[in-house]
Amino acid sequence: MILCQNLTKRYGPLLAVDDLSFQVAPGEVLGFLGPNGAGKSTTMRILAGFLPANSGKASVCGFDVETEATEAKRRIGYLPEGAPSYPEMTPRSFLEFVADIRGLTGAHRKNRLDEVYGLLHLEHVLGQTIDTLSKGYKRRVGLAQAIVHDPEVLILDEPTDGLDPNQKHEVRQLINQMSQKKIIVISTHLLEEVDALCNRAIIIAHGRILADDTPEKLETRSRFHNAVSVKLVDSSQIEAVRNGIEALPEVASTELDAQSDRLTAFPANGQLPLAAITDLAAKNDWEFSELHLESGRLDEVFRTITGGASA
Ligand code: ADP
């Protein structure tokens, strides 16, 4: 369990974390979402025991991150932003060094290191200095150091930032694999990452929590929730189709995307317009090349909630 109570952190006059309180339970993969400068990294550093808060308390698995830092850190794996490490070391020497610091010895040390090399596909680069590795491999080395001691809690600051789509996919698969047995907190400004990984999202801006919910529930706050988008086989019918759909009592309004010729019908308060639209299409012999029921758009919810905030 992670527990944060009224955490506050100032840098001089700047209030970076403002009276933040939340809990994270086992099985939760929490996405920490917010615009740049929202206070995500600062909160994670406090949780990982790398930065003291000005006031408030944080504990991990029952251990206070400040007053019982050693016990708390034993249970935490932390990937700092940018995954810094020692560029002149090789992954092997770096990870052996981390294993020593983490107190791993004997056969357990060797077995665990072999397991971690395998999990992160590091076998082929173990002897190469870290500064000569690609960004993707550097990030894997960063993740490897975070999991060497098989911690109960993983705190990952923008784990896929700067990676190409294939590397992002690989890192996400790995995080998904580990998520069954751990508490994971991930900071990101990538909304697709929240969809891919998280079962809970906290949206923060200016150091304060603005929303705390499942990604699915957050999506229901979007005006696209239950909207229906269609594309016509014969686009010359578009005006007639638009007028017909707009006249349905289940539909509040429509929007036409001129670039894609996609027509979106937004539901009237609490209505589900899908069935009415398909019935109307059948009656009028309209042929759709696409028919799509929208679940809601997280990016739109994010922009609405944070009001386009950034530091
Ligand atoms: P995020 O991770 O959400 O981008 P940060 O926690 O890095 O946000 O930063 C929150 C605010 O604190 C920002 O305005 C940032 O400029 C400021 N900040 C972060 N670290 C320091 C520091 N060491 N000294 C002064 N200001 C800082």
Express each pLDDT in 11-47 by its tens digit.
Answer: 999 999 999 999 999 889 999 998 889 999 999 999 9
What's the Cα-to-Cα distance from 268 to each of 100, 252, 307, rounded to whole Å?
Answer: 62, 4, 24
What's the gap in Å between 16 CA and the centre of ligand 1?
Answer: 6
Instruction: Report pLDDT digits (tens) over 70-85.
Output: 999 999 999 998 777 7
What's the gap in Å between 159 CA and the centre of ligand 1?
Answer: 18
Q: Is 132 exposed, middle or buried (CB count within 10 Å of its CB: 0-12, 13-18, 19+)? A: exposed
Q: What share of the chain is helix, strand, coil (3-state, %, to 5)?
A: 40, 25, 35
Pocket residue to mutate for ligand 1, from 7, 8, 14, 79, most atoms within 8 A of Cβ = 14
Whether the CB of 41 sits within 6 Å of ligand 1: yes
DSSP category for residue 272 = -
Question: How far is Cα 18 from Cα 12, in angstroms, rounded to an integer?
Answer: 14
Q: Which atom of ligand 1 lies nearest, measured to the CA of 157? A: 2
Question: How far is Cα 93 from Cα 99, in angstroms, rounded to an integer?
Answer: 10
User: Ligand 1: which residue has its CA nearest to atom 14?
Assistant: 37
Which SS3 state, helix, strand or coil, does residue 291 take?
strand
Question: How far is Cα 228 from Cα 239, in angstroms, rounded to an integer?
Answer: 16
Which SS3 state, helix, strand or coil, does residue 56 take?
strand
Question: How far is Cα 249 from Cα 277, in angstroms, rounded to an integer?
Answer: 11
Whether the CB of 9 sits within 6 Å of ligand 1: no
Q: Which residues in the chain come in under a pLDDT of 50?
A: 311
Q: Are 306 and 210 in contact (CB under 8 A)?
A: yes
User: Ligand 1: which residue has its CA nearest to atom 12?
Assistant: 16
- The DSSP bridge pattern shows strands 183-188 and 153-157 to be parallel
Rounded to 5 degrees, what angle do the CA atoms 39, 42, 44 make? 110
Instruction: Quote the pLDDT of residue 65.
Output: 96
As a dihedral over the C-alpha atoms of residue 79, residue 183, residue 174, residue 113, rounded to 10 degrees, the angle is 70
Query: Side-chain half-sphere of 247: how many Cα atoms within 13 Å?
Result: 7
For 76-219, list the strands marked E by DSSP: 76-79, 153-157, 183-188, 200-205, 208-213
Instruction: Quote the pLDDT of residue 303.
Output: 86
What's the gap in Å between 42 CA and the centre of ligand 1?
Answer: 6
Instruction: Quote the pLDDT of residue 311.
Output: 45
Verdict on whether the full-model pTM lies above 0.75: yes
Rounded to 5 degrees, what angle do the CA atoms 110, 113, 118 make? 125
Query: Side-chain half-sphere of 147: how many Cα atoms within 13 Å?
Result: 25
Rounded to 5 degrees, what angle do the CA atoms 234, 238, 241 make? 110
Whether the CB of 39 sits within 6 Å of ligand 1: yes
